[in-house]
Amino acid sequence: MDNLIYTCQSNSNKLTKVTETANNIYGFKGGANLSTEYTYDVNGNLKTDANKNITAIQYNYLGEFYKLKF
């Protein structure tokens, strides 16, 4: 079972960090231990995810996901 701690930007619902406090091999696997693990563009779309080693997420003109870069 996961025991996750979520950290968000001040006055925002944008996630910056997830910490797993349970000692098990299942569930959430955090690949990073940074103060900011998730970044967003000006429209609020996720740009990077350090836990999954995603360095860029591109969206089309409608704001729909269309490409990942690892």
Residue-number span of the structural domain to which 60 is assigned: 4-69
Contact 30, 20 (CB under 8 A): yes
Between the alpha carbon of residue 31 and those of residues 37, 47, 53, 69, the distances in Å are 9, 17, 7, 16
Q: What is the number of domains present in the chain?
A: 1
Both tokens of residue 22?
């349970």
Q: Which pTM was predicted?
A: 0.84
pLDDT value at residue 48: 96
Q: To the nearest 10°, report the CA torsion of 14, 16, 21, 25.
A: 100
Q: What is the pLDDT of residues 18-49, one digit of tens each?
A: 998 887 777 888 888 899 999 999 989 999 99
pLDDT value at residue 63:
84
Which pLDDT value is given to residue 65?
A: 85
